Amino acid sequence: MSELVFFSGTMDCGKSTLALQIGHNRSARGLRGVIFTRDDRAGEGKLSSRLGLVTDAVEAVGGMDVYAYVVDVITRGGRVDYVIVDEAQFLLHEQIDQLARIVDDLDLDVYAFGITTDFRTRLFPGSQRLIELADRIEALQVEALCWCGARATHNARTVDGVMVVEGAQVVVGDVSDVDRPDGEVGYEVLCRRHHRRRATAATANVGALSPDVLPVPPA
């Protein structure tokens, strides 16, 4: 039976790479799919990985009915054997419901890839709905690492290297945005301990040079 599968994890755990691999494997066997994405780092209508791989995709903008889009492709004589959705955390609740309908009514597999929680450790709306509806949830096997070497479990947003815990939920670090805070926006994966302490790689390096953090006072 067809399934709605949610592949989840932190940044840097290979979600987009796996999405591209699944698409490649099925394409090599003569299957055809529809690929959706939202706010990819490579720009609108692109699915890309940090390894430099990229392919064209359909931008699932707010208000788009993804179920109706797939039905329209089929109605026009197109072939659809599966659906891939990257950056699924950015989709709306109703769009996740539409993905479930693609599985149930059209009998197609849907593979959704996304980050579970935001920089405040709160569930993204799309990820929350996927957890509620998915037939299967898969944790990505490639472990992202915190700067300390521990397994990274949390995503952090930084502004000029300093971790922030307030602001709009969605701010893409490499594009201009009206909601973007002043300063250079970046993202980093951290273990829970260092996320709680707001200790990024940059601030940890600064702290390592400070005598205030030494276990004993210098002679």
Does 87 participate in catalysis according to the annotation? yes
Strand pairing report for 4-9 and 136-139? parallel
The catalytic position among 87, 143, 166, 188 is 87
C-beta neighbour count of 167 within 10 angstroms: 16
Gap between the Cα atoms of 132 and 165, Å rounded? 26
Exposed e or buried b per residue across 169-186, where buried means at least 16 C-beta atoms within 10 angstroms of its C-beta: eebeeeeeeeebeeeebb
Gap between the Cα atoms of 67 and 117, Å rounded? 25
Nearest to 186 by CA among 166, 162, 209: 162
The residues annotated with a catalytic role in the active site are 87
